[in-house]
Amino acid sequence: MSGQHTTELVVFVALFLVVSGMGFVAAKWRRPKDIESLNEWGLGGRNFGTWITWFLVGGDLYTAYTFVAVPALVFGAGALGFYALPYTVVVYPLVFLVLARMWSVSHVHGFVTPADFVRARFGSPTLALLVAITGIVATMPYIALQLVGIEAVLKAMGITGHLPIIIAFAILAAYTYQSGLRAPALIAFVKDTLIYIVILAAVIYIPAKLGGWGSIFDAAAEKFAKTPAPGDGILLNANNQLQYITLAFGSALALFLYPHSLTGVLASKNRNVIKRNMSALPAYSFLLGLIALLGFMAIAAGVKPIVNPETGKPDGNTVVPVLFDQMFPDWFTGVAYAAIGIGALVPAAIMSIAAANLFTRNIYREYLNKQATDAQEAKVSKLVSLVVKVGAVLCILLLDPQFSIDLQLIGGVVILQTLPSVALGLYTRWFHKGGLIAGWATGLAAGMWMLYLIPNPANGKLHFGGSAFPLANFGFDTKATLYAGVIALTVNLVVAAVATLIFRAAKVADGEDATARGDYFADEGDPRVKDIDLSGAH
Amino acid sequence: MTTPESGQDRTDRSPWNWLLFVPIVLPLLTFLFNADEPRLAGFPLFYWLQLAFIVVGVACTTIVYRMTK
């Protein structure tokens, strides 16, 4: 630890401790009668209004990793990395009506997870189990990535070794255990306020020091013109436009399939809160667009990413922390680092709660203890949330962080395979449960196969080097690529439809639908919504 | 579960919902914005126009929310 970062470190640690204190106090926030149930611990009492939901869902979707990785991508590839902006513009109108339906049916039946819904809708514990496992598998590396975000700022402060990460996560684990979803909901206020301050300062102060936005873009264009890579530049080219479109659209489709995004939605108190948030959440997208441009500022400022002592390669994730260090006075750099560090805690807490709820509801309750009481469910979820966080820390300690990033890439393709049963299931009961299972399996296999075939020449990897699948592999005479997740989802849908027709023709028994049409439009004040039946209708 | 009766007449259907397609489709039409000129405050078209699409998205979802409340 070098002495030159003392001020930064003091500010960082102080803010971190304040937030941790809030995490513990959160258990008493909004006075729960009894926190020993999943409605209270896992969904914060299911009573959050517009503002809390805005901070909670925003704090959940725009993670520390986003703040570190998106600018790193723009730093390395240019325009293609900016896909994160259209992705978060497209997503809200896309799910505007879908999430309202999900809220209604979940509140009528007391669903806590997307797999709960699938269980009731298609009458299939097996399909629900597959959806639950898919969710857990896709979420785990996502949590590990939050640690990568914290590690990036620690590295920039000259701190090496894993002990600080372990301490930070132990504190996080303790207050999530105690306060459940209330902890990230309360901390999200601080996290987002800090991030807004830091980013607004960054986009005014840094360009002024670098000679204005025009010269920042010109510097970036100049750098990309000199590199041999054909896909970079401050504009898209003929070969990566389709990739840009499908990556933005595919990522938008995947976002609310992640169990943790749904957790924030189900915690809101009525349909209007969700709809209002779908028009207010893009405020974060504006922020994300500006954050992405920090990648170009780093180019203009001549930032050199910190070399990872373990691999001897430059770590792209450090460009934003290094940029802040070069540009800001020490105390403000400390605030900026704290914003990123705390930015990792909110989503990590929500993700571990969501993964724990999936285990409790769709594995423990379904297969291990059918008569579980509310208190037992809460207990199991609390313990599993600890296990999940220990698992994430082990991922970072035992694996190359690059491996977590690859897993996250795979996670996006994996979670998309639940779209037919979860998202389409909200609209149609046409698919046969067997068809959905067949579609899920083939979509997953196709996705893995495609990712396996994609190399990354930049770091010499032969497999799992990215998500851009060259159409030339299908025999097309083109250099254009498509997002592998979108192709895998197409395979999934086609197989699910064909298999449904086959199962129907063969008269294979289908599951029973426990939901009724009116359940999808129920709202707060409806007698069925008020009376939450946690034992479930299934 | 209860037999369907109350709330059966409710629905999310509304012609206003078609407006949601605008912000879903617009940001995916790369030919509209994949250009450097004209620049705005130093931002190439590619960047400022996509930031402007956020405003379109907010406007469309807000209108749909207000009209279907």
Task: For residue range B17-34, list pLDDT tens digits in order.
Answer: 899 999 999 999 999 999
Say whether B17 and A214 touch across the interface (CB within 8 A): no
ipTM of the complex: 0.88
Beta bridge partners of A314: A307
- For the segment A346-358, what is each residue's pLDDT rounded down to a tens digit? 888 899 999 999 9
Query: Residue B5: its chain A contacts at CB < 8 A?
Result: 518
Say whether B58 and A282 touch across the interface (CB within 8 A): yes
Query: Does residue B48 sit at the A interface (CB-CB below 8 Å)?
Result: no
- For the segment A79-116, what is each residue's pLDDT rounded down to a tens digit? 998 999 999 999 999 999 999 999 999 999 989 999 99
DSSP 8-state assignment for residue A482: E
Q: Token pair 């998106």 is at which residue? A: A70
H or E stretch at A483: strand A481-483
* Residue A513 Rama label (left phi>0; alpha psi -120 to 50; beta): beta
Q: Which residues, 6+ apart, have CB-to-CB distance to A429 below 8 Å?
A: A121, A122, A513
How high is the pLDDT of residue A52?
87
CB contact residues (below 8 A), chain A span 80-99, against chain B = 82, 85-86, 89-90, 92-94, 96-97
The angle, 0 to 180 degrees and rounded to 10, between the axes of the packed helices A114-122 and A84-109 is 60
* Dihedral angle sign, alpha carbons of residues A248, A254, A258, A263: positive
Say whether B20 and A97 touch across the interface (CB within 8 A): yes
Say whether B8 and A245 touch across the interface (CB within 8 A): no
- DSSP states of A314-382 as a string? B-GGGHHHHHHHHHS-HHHHHHHHHHHHHHHHHHHHHHHHHHHHHHIIIIIIIII-TT--HHHHHHHHH
Alpha carbons A297 and A217: distance in angstroms, whole number: 8
* Dihedral angle sign, alpha carbons of residues A135, A242, A63, A188: negative
Mutate to test the interface with A, among B22, B24, B55 (most CBs of A within 10 A): B24
- DSSP states of A432-481 as a string? -HHHHHHHHHHHHHHHHHHHHH--BGGGTBSSS--SEEEGGGGT-S---E
Q: Which residues, 6+ apart, have CB-to-CB distance to A481 below 8 Å?
A: A239, A240, A242, A243, A468, A469, A470, A471
- For the segment A135-168, what is each residue's pLDDT rounded down to a tens digit? 998 988 888 888 888 888 888 888 877 888 888 8
Query: Residue B33: its chain A contacts at CB < 8 A?
Result: none
Number of H-type helices and E-type strands within chain A: 22, 2
Minimal CA separation from A515 to chain B, in Å:
7
**The two structure tokens encoding residue A251:** 């990522």
The angle, 0 to 180 degrees and rounded to 10, between the axes of the packed helices A330-359 and A6-25 is 40
- Taking CA atoms, what residue in B is nearest to A82? B47
Indicate whether A511 pLDDT > 90.
Answer: no
Arithmetic mean of pLDDT, A260-282: 90
How high is the pLDDT of residue B8?
52
Q: Which of B4, B27, B69 sits opposite A89 (nearest CB)?
A: B27
Beta bridge partners of A284: none
How high is the pLDDT of residue B5?
45
CB contact residues (below 8 A), chain A span 185-214, against chain B = 207, 212-214
Mutate to test the interface with A, among B10, B48, B56 (most CBs of A within 10 A): B10
Contact A332, A194 (CB under 8 A): no
Query: Does residue A527 sit at the B interface (CB-CB below 8 Å)?
Result: yes
Arithmetic mean of pLDDT, A421-428: 94
Which of A160, A117, A150, A147 is CA-nearest to residue A135? A117
How high is the pLDDT of residue A166?
87
Say whether B65 and A278 touch across the interface (CB within 8 A): yes
Say whether B12 and A101 touch across the interface (CB within 8 A): yes
In three-state secondary structure terms, A148 is helix
Lowest mean pLDDT among A159-163, A206-210, A341-345, B35-39: A159-163
Indicate whether A2 pLDDT > 50.
Answer: no
Cα-trace Rg, chain A: 23
Indicate whether A461 pLDDT > 60.
Answer: yes
Query: Residue B7: its chain A contacts at CB < 8 A?
Result: 518, 521-522, 526, 528
